[in-house]
Structure 1
Amino acid sequence: MALESLEDQLTSLNLSPDEYLAYNPSKDRPWLLQKFDNIPRYLFRVYTPRSCGITDTSWTKSKNSRYGNQASRHDIFARTDDKAVAAMLHRHLMWQKGDDNFVSWTSSLLFALVYIFHLHASLRDGSEFMDIHLCIIDTTRFARGVFLRGLDLIQAYRVVDSNLAQTEELRTRKHGGRYYFGEYLSQGALRIEGKCDIVSASALIDQGLFDLQPAFKEFTQWPKAFAPPWVYPVLKLRDEIRHKICSSSITQLFGSRWRLPMAANLIASLPYREEDSDILNFFKGTGFTGSLLFCHDLTDANQCRWRQELMLQFEDENHGL
């Protein structure tokens, strides 16, 4: 584990500015700098060949970067037209067409999983499950400033765009913040090779995704539509999903260093219970490697690093405000 941890640290330092576009908040937004310290360790992205941007095992690129737009190399905070940036941000968050240099990630694995079925049923996409992929990244292996929370960007630009102010209202205040789904944004092109793992939706299904949550099988029968379900099923499943130990087999699809965070995020999709012996025993099983270590007293949440990581991820998905 020590060697793997050292290797990870060295890899994260081996970054060229050409491999990412970091946010550099302007002097009138210094409060954003501290937000770089609150990025969840693991983020997820679901993509298809029909996505506006492009993602593969080496790169993830925004729509602008994919098509070689020179503006894709410029940090939004280096631009002088705040209204144009705010309009682009709103278009991206609302899935509208137009100039777009953002790439979306989520800290909610549940949100990402339901998105798979949304894309499959969408008349705008309609990809087969073998062509829909789930990507997980370790944000600690990227330079500081590569990611920012969508809500923080909304708050930075809401004063110049009333649409963003309304979006913030929806995601933070209306319905008790239940419409917050842990969205984070990178910009331009980002090299993810060696810092991610990617698995197809068909592999997830074959490995027992429907056993983890039977409702997922029902989602495969959604009729084709321009706006198939997504948000409401997530809200419902947040309240209903139950733990299934078969999540162990799903984690085996991922490389050894990714199995523990994947399992933790599957568990983080469940309703929170202070103590659960089944979950504790599950994480004590074989097949997990990585830097998350167990303490000797597994009942002490304050001393278990895996629980701390899990609760941070859980809080971002279920509260995040």
Structure 2
Amino acid sequence: MQHNAAQHNAAQTYEVPRYLFRISDKNSPGTTTTTRVSSCAWDKGARIDGIHAHYNPSKQPAQRLNEHLRWKCDDDCNLMSWTNSLLVALTYGFYRHRKHGTPLSAIRLLIVDTSKFPPRTFLHDLDLIDRLRYEDWEGERSLQNLYKLRTEIWGGVFYFGEYLTQGYVDVGGQSAWATMQELIDHGLPSFGVEIEDRKGACDPQWAKRVVELRRAFERAMTPAKMSDQLVRDAIHWARKCFGAVWALPVAAMVLNLELRAENDETILKVFRDEFAGEYDTTVSFEAMDAQVDRQPEVQQYNRLMYNLGHRLGHSGEQAREVKSSEVEESEDKDKDKDKDKDKDKDKDKDKDKDKDKDKDKDKDKDKDKDKDKDKDKDKDKDKDKDKDKDKDKDEDDITAGLRSIVLSF
């Protein structure tokens, strides 16, 4: 299975942190360079499907995963490990120096930007363990026991933010690296944490060293003091070791190897001065590992990056706020205009109503006039009737007169 960043540029799912580290040297399994990370099985040419390399079909996926996570990998192993914690990576780097006597100048720390790879290129160890632990349930060395060790036993302190890749991964153009010696020479010791355990020639329990360093966060009464110079040194160190593109996240990580104030104004101010305009605000939204509460150094880093995102995006947000206020003002003006228009319409309506009232009044007047006319007509009729009566009377009088004249003859 080959993964190529150029084939797909979509962001990873939220479970995968933005940046992952890998420590390697000449004794490490598989191949790790600035252009490729490939498993032993891939290098050996085994036909691969998922985590099961068919080079040895007798081994089942659960068994193969368990062997890899317990450092029992053989040439058939198809997995390569990464961590989301700079603290874990550096501790393991010093361990390999003491364990194998490998010079620090030959041990490399590789960093990749997971957002440049296809989804599911990087798999969370706990996700895989959880899916396969029911196939390997019993015994102290079972996957079920390993799951409990990383999530429940002693509060899950043996969780190291491990992620896995399969087969071949093309990391060219999406990664950077520095040797452990370069990290030291450029000033790693000046950041306050002595990661290397110097109590013995070799401490095979390097995981316990990580737990010890993390407990220092709990024991610290007050956050470490910060100065402008120390923050600028961290940024300079990150640029020298990994290049300008990686300076912001790596500097933020190295400053969080010990307890810091959550909203340290010194860090925020210097980062804003150094990086304003160089990064989009999306750099702040780091994927939050579900187990991050067991990783105080990663938890601090995530919070810092979130706060930095708001600070670095402040000018842009301010511009958006201004634009928004202008739009709101324009909308308010339009609303006022609409209100005025509505008022004018209401006035016109009132005028129309008044006109209608006047018309009604005129109609009433006309009606009254008509009534008066009718009355006049009635009066006229009455007059006519009276006239008719008078006429009748006259006619009667005439008739009576005529009759009387006739009778008189």
Interval of TM-score (by shorter of Structure 1 and Structure 2): 0.7 to 0.9
> CA separation in 2, counterparts of 1:117 and 1:15?
35
Contact 2:83 2:163 in 1 (8 A): yes
1:187-206 correspondence to structure 2 within 5 Å: 187-206=166-185
Selected match of 1:142 from 117, 134, 158: 117
Which of the pair is proportionally richer in helix?
Answer: 2
* CA pair 135-237 structure 1, distance change in 2 beyond 3 A: same
The alpha-carbon deviation at position 273 of structure 1 amounts to 3.8
The alpha-carbon deviation at position 62 of structure 1 amounts to 1.1
* CA pair 307-51 structure 1, distance change in 2 beyond 3 A: same
> CA separation in 2, counterparts of 1:314 and 1:282?
30
> CA separation in 2, counterparts of 1:160 and 1:290?
49
Contact 1:45 1:135 in 2 (8 A): yes
Determine whether 1:315 maps to 2:292: yes
The SS at the match of 1:157 is: helix
> CA separation in 1, counterparts of 2:19 and 2:58?
30
* CA pair 83-40 structure 1, distance change in 2 beyond 3 A: same
Contact 2:193 2:258 in 1 (8 A): no
CA displacement 1:127-158 (0-9 Å, x = unmatched): 10000000000001111111110000000100
Q: Which runs of 5+ in 1 are unaligned?
A: 1-11, 17-34, 294-304
The percentage of aligned residue pairs carrying the same residue is 32
Contact 1:222 1:228 in 2 (8 A): no
Contact 2:41 2:78 in 1 (8 A): yes
Contact 1:268 1:310 in 2 (8 A): no
Runs of 4+ in 1 over 4 A off after TM superposition: 241-244, 287-290, 310-314
Contact 1:105 1:184 in 2 (8 A): yes
The alpha-carbon deviation at position 317 of structure 1 amounts to 6.2
* CA pair 285-50 structure 1, distance change in 2 beyond 3 A: farther
Selected match of 1:262 from 239, 250, 254: 250
Amino acid at match of 1:152: D
CA displacement 1:60-79 (0-9 Å, x = unmatched): 1112122x2323x3223798
Please, what TM-score do these two structures have when normalized by structure 1?
0.75
Contact 1:265 1:313 in 2 (8 A): no
1:124-163 correspondence to structure 2 within 5 Å: 125-162=100-137, 163=142
The alpha-carbon deviation at position 306 of structure 1 amounts to 5.0
> CA separation in 1, counterparts of 2:265 and 2:61?
48
Contact 1:39 1:139 in 2 (8 A): yes
Amino acid at match of 2:7: L
> CA separation in 1, counterparts of 2:104 and 2:214?
23
Identify the residue that residue 49 of structure 2 maps to in structure 1: 74
Identify the residue that residue 266 of structure 2 maps to in structure 1: 278
Selected match of 1:53 from 12, 30, 37: 30
Identify the residue that residue 212 of structure 2 maps to in structure 1: 236
The SS at the match of 2:82 is: strand
1:66-145 correspondence to structure 2 within 5 Å: 66=43, 68-71=44-47, 73-76=48-51, 84-98=60-74, 99-122=76-99, 125-145=100-120
Larger deviation, residues 235-244 vs 126-135: 235-244
* CA pair 275-214 structure 1, distance change in 2 beyond 3 A: closer
CA displacement 1:159-188 (0-9 Å, x = unmatched): 001200000000001111211111000001
Number of residue-to-residue matches in the alignment: 273
The alpha-carbon deviation at position 121 of structure 1 amounts to 0.7
> CA separation in 2, counterparts of 1:15 and 1:95?
32
> CA separation in 1, counterparts of 2:204 and 2:215?
21
Quick one: higher RCO (CA 8 Å, sep 6+), 1 or 2? 1
The SS at the match of 1:274 is: coil
Q: Which runs of 5+ in 2 are unaligned?
A: 218-223, 299-409
> CA separation in 2, counterparts of 1:199 and 1:314?
28
Root-mean-square deviation (CA), in Å? 3.1
> CA separation in 1, counterparts of 2:179 and 2:277?
22
Determine whether 1:213 maps to 2:157: no
Selected match of 2:42 from 48, 58, 65: 65
Amino acid at match of 2:6: N
Please, what TM-score do these two structures have when normalized by structure 2?
0.60
Contact 2:14 2:288 in 1 (8 A): no
> CA separation in 1, counterparts of 2:40 and 2:275?
38
* CA pair 256-234 structure 1, distance change in 2 beyond 3 A: same
* CA pair 50-230 structure 1, distance change in 2 beyond 3 A: same
> CA separation in 2, counterparts of 1:212 and 1:262?
13
Amino acid at match of 1:96: K
Amino acid at match of 2:188: L
